[in-house]
């Protein structure tokens, strides 16, 4: 993954692409929780590890079975609901960081009830972060820097998060919910525009679902599900006017403004079936349809003591309601001879959606296994991301084409034993091509801005991972390389805001039956990003230096108790993530060395 933590949420992408995570489809227990407004995989501190059983990551286009927004890949967070465990976990750390999580799983004959609830809060106001934000040369280079409030005592960066997962199962029927609420400052990115600390943001979503598992025979089984997704976003900001001749923060004219979007709603019906012809041949087919209503953007502005409500004129009001229908199918067959096998899979999805073009999305793969320890896989896939309500701003025509992605991948995996050490390796060579970027272009004749479709972006990449285990040791080594580092939008080429190569190394040692010590080293190559010039005249290319950091975890785990200490950034390295979304701020300082204490009790 490529990401840049700007101290609010986690923008980024997969396989050399970056932005607002709109190319990654976010699922919780297989159900989509993608942001309806901007198609974002919205990742904050609302995904504590205590909530998660495992994380499944699919790299590359996966729209055939998963639908829109899976252009770069899929992240499926599997919660601990139904895992049979009951646990209370607590964490305390620096910067007034606190976390609590409760997990309850109960079974009574055919009835199963599960609940997972968490709370997180943190001031996130490290001294190093305050100093960095108040340094215009290093941080922002915005035209507004000369009149920003540079008093570090006025900087805030606090966050609160609540999550709730619940599910009830009875004889094949189930009902459940995923709820998330957050209150935070909109990251240090917003400081350059809000003059002092960033917007105060409140957002949340809930996804309620009801369904049943159906088994007509050993060969035919499936599921039917209805869900209701609702989200909202509220923001308080300090809006500022800069009078002519203003030279300091005290010269500004400021007033409070509130901006609400939503609530937005989605009603969805899905059904998926699998028919097993025999042990080596099967079909998967299904239908996915929904009705979405995007909540309107409303601003509350205090003008001379009177509250004025208005919607920005560029808001695409006629695009607020839309309907989507999709049907899909996949066929798989395995051919066997001796110890060898060849598996063929081919699938196709047809997607029809208001305000954008219909799409046929194929995916096919061949997997050859010489034996159980080795496999070679060749895959081709296509995916799409439909436009958002924001991207319809300034659109001249009624429709925008969807962004598309094509991928060809060669994958090799192998497990083996060498001198008593167990190894498992996987490597992937891939080519990705993205088309149809949305760009706002000034019409020189009419003198107005318009949204146009333009550009393409190609990536050639290599990903490898080696896992190993021997006696009391286990670990992994991973490497990623991509080429080239440019993208074309219209007639312009620009530097890509991701490192060409990354290296990760993790190691765990069992001190005895209960004590463990773990370390994880992370290295990112230098990154080149477009940034504002010091003189305020245009932009130039800025180098974000390469960095390496180490995290350590020492903990004891018994049948009921677990406690330990986690040290982030052990050597207190100063390192930065580049800004993949704009020319200012240039980069984001990451966390200095900090310590967290963890305790959990299973009951």
Pairing, β 492-495 against β 527-532 = unpaired
Query: Which pLDDT value is given to residue 494?
Result: 61
Tokens representing 294? 């995007």
* Contact predicate 126/591, CB 8 Å: yes
Three-state secondary-structure class, residue 71: coil
Residue 131: enclosing H or E segment and its boundaries?
Answer: helix 127-133
> What does the pLDDT read at residue 116?
98
Residue 119 has pLDDT above 70, yes or no: yes
pLDDT digits (tens, 9 = 90+) for 336-347: 999 899 999 999
Tens-digit pLDDT profile for residues 425-441: 999 999 999 998 877 77
Distance CA 579, CA 542 (A): 11
What is the C-alpha to C-alpha distance for residues 18 and 73, in angstroms, rounded to an integer?
12
pLDDT at 491: 59
Choice between 51 and 248, residue whose per-residue pLDDT is larger: 51
How far is residue 103's CA from residue 117's CA, in Å, rounded to a whole number?
7
Residue 108 has pLDDT above 70, yes or no: yes
- CA-atom Rg of the chain in angstroms: 25
Q: What is the share, in percent, of the chain residues with pLDDT greater than 70?
A: 96
State the pTM of this model: 0.92
CB 329 within 8 A of CB 346: no
Q: Name the percent of the chain lying above pLDDT 90.
A: 66
Cβ of 295: how many Cβ atoms within 10 Å?
Answer: 19
d(CA 522, CA 174): 41
The pLDDT value recorded for residue 488 is 58
For residues 29-39, average pLDDT: 92
Q: In this predicted model, what pLDDT tens digit does every residue of 123-166 receive, in sequence order?
A: 999 999 999 988 887 888 887 788 888 888 888 899 999 999 99
Q: How do strand 515-524 and strand 501-510 relate by DSSP bridges? A: antiparallel
What integer pLDDT is reported at residue 195 of this predicted model? 72
Query: Distances from the Cα of 528 to the Cαs of 461, 480, 490, 540, 579, in angstroms?
Result: 18, 17, 20, 10, 10
Cis peptide before 128 (omega within 30 of 0): no
Query: What stretch of H or E contains 133?
Result: helix 127-133
Confidence band, pLDDT 50/70/90 cuts, at residue 453? confident
Tell me: the pLDDT tens digits for 401-416? 889 999 999 999 999 9
What is the per-residue pLDDT for 30?
Answer: 95
238 HSE (CA, 13 A, CB side): 17
Give 327's contacts (C-beta < 8 A, 6+ positions apart). Answer: 285, 286, 287, 288, 349, 350
Cis-peptide into 601, omega within 30 deg:
no
Cα–Cα distance measured from residue 565 to residue 82, given in angstroms and rounded to the nearest whole number = 28
Q: How confident is the model at residue 492 (pLDDT cuts 50, 70, 90)?
A: low
Q: What are phi and psi of 244, to 5 degrees?
A: -60, 135
Q: In this model, does residue 456 exceed pLDDT 90? A: no
Q: Up-side HSE of residue 151: CA atoms within 13 Å toward CB?
A: 6
d(CA 150, CA 145): 9
Residue 306: pLDDT band with limits 50, 70, 90:
confident
Predicted pLDDT at 400: 84
Residue 496: pLDDT above 80? no
Q: What is the DSSP letter of 20?
A: B
Is 372 exposed, middle or buried, given 0-12, 13-18 or 19+ CB atoms closer than 10 A? exposed
Q: In this structure, what token pair is assigned to residue 377?
A: 């896989």
Strand, coil or helix: 368: strand
CA distance 541 to 533: 9
* Range among 84-98, 128-142, 297-311 with highest mean pLDDT value: 84-98
Cα–Cα distance measured from residue 485 to residue 17, given in angstroms and rounded to the nearest whole number: 10
What is the arithmetic mean of pLDDT over 82-107? 96
Q: What is the mean pLDDT of residues 11-40?
A: 92
SS3 354: coil
Asked if 64 and 349 touch (Cβ cutoff 8 Å), the reply is yes
The rounded distance, in Å, linking the Cα atoms of 156 and 158 is 6
* Matching residue, tokens 């982030």: 568
Work out the average pLDDT over 179-198: 84
How far CA 531 is from CA of 136, 325, 456, 546, in Å, comes to: 13, 42, 22, 17
Paired residues of 439 in beta bridges:
452
Per-residue pLDDT of 325-381, as tens digits, reads: 999 999 999 999 998 999 999 999 999 999 888 989 999 999 999 999 999 999 999
Tens of pLDDT, residues 265-290: 999 999 999 999 999 999 999 999 99
Q: Which helix (H) or strand (E) holds 65?
A: helix 63-66
């Amino acid at each position: 993954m490529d990401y840049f933590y700007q101290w609010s949420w986690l923008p980024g992408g997969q396989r050399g692409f970056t932005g607002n995570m709109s190319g990654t489809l976010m699922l919780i227990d297989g159900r989509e929780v993608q942001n309806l407004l901007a198609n974002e995989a919205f990742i904050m501190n609302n995904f504590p590890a205590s909530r998660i059983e495992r994380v499944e990551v699919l790299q590359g286009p996966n729209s055939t079975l998963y639908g829109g927004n899976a252009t770069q890949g899929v992240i499926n967070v599997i919660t601990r609901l139904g895992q049979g465990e009951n646990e209370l976990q607590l964490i305390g750390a620096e910067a007034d960081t606190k976390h609590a999580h409760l997990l309850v799983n109960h079974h009574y004959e055919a009835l199963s009830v599960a609940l997972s609830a968490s709370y997180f809060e943190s001031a996130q106001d490290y001294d190093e972060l305050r100093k960095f934000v108040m340094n215009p040369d290093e941080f922002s280079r915005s035209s507004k820097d000369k009149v920003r409030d540079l008093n570090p005592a006025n900087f805030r960066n606090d966050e609160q998060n609540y999550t709730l997962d619940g599910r009830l199962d009875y004889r094949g029927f189930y009902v459940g919910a995923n709820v998330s609420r957050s209150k935070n400052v909109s990251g240090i990115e917003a400081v350059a525009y809000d003059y002092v600390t960033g917007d105060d943001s409140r957002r949340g979503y809930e996804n309620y679902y009801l369904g049943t598992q159906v088994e007509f025979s050993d060969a035919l089984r499936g599921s039917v599900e209805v869900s209701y997704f609702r989200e909202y976003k509220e923001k308080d900001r300090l809006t500022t006017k800069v009078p002519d001749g203003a030279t300091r923060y005290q010269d500004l004219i400021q007033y409070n403004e509130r901006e609400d979007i939503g609530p937005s709603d989605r009603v969805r019906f899905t059904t998926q079936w699998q028919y097993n012809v025999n042990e080596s041949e099967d079909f998967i087919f299904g239908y996915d349809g929904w009705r979405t209503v995007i909540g309107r953007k409303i601003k509350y502005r205090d003008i001379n003591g009177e509250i004025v409500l208005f919607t920005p004129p560029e808001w695409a009001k006629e695009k607020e309601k839309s309907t989507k229908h999709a049907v899909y199918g996949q066929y798989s067959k395995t051919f066997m001879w001796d110890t060898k096998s060849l598996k063929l899979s081919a699938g196709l999805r047809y997607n029809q959606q208001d305000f954008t073009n219909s799409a046929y999305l194929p995916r096919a793969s061949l997997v050859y296994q010489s034996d159980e320890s080795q496999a070679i896989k060749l895959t081709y896939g296509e995916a799409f991301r439909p436009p958002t309500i924001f991207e319809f701003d300034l659109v001249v025509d009624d429709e925008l084409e969807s962004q598309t992605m094509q991928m060809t991948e060669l994958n090799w995996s192998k497990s083996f034993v060498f001198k008593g050490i167990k190894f498992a390796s996987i490597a992937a060579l891939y080519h990705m091509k993205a088309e149809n970027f949305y760009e706002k272009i000034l019409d020189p004749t009419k003198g107005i801005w318009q949204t146009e479709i333009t550009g393409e972006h190609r990536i050639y990449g290599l990903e490898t991972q080696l896992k190993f285990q021997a006696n009391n040791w286990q670990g992994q080594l991973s490497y990623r390389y991509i080429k080239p580092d440019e993208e074309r939008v219209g007639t312009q080429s620009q530097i890509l805001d991701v490192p060409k190569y990354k290296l990760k190394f993790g190691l765990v040692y069992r001190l005895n039956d209960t004590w463990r010590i773990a370390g994880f080293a992370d290295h990112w190559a230098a990154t080149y990003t477009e940034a504002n010039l010091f003189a305020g005249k245009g932009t130039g290319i800025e180098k974000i230096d390469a960095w390496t950091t180490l995290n350590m975890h020492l903990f004891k785990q018994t049948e009921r108790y677990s406690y330990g200490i986690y040290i982030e950034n052990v050597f207190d390295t100063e390192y930065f993530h580049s800004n993949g979304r704009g020319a200012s701020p240039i980069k984001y300082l990451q966390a200095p060395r900090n310590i967290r204490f963890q305790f959990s009790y299973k009951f």
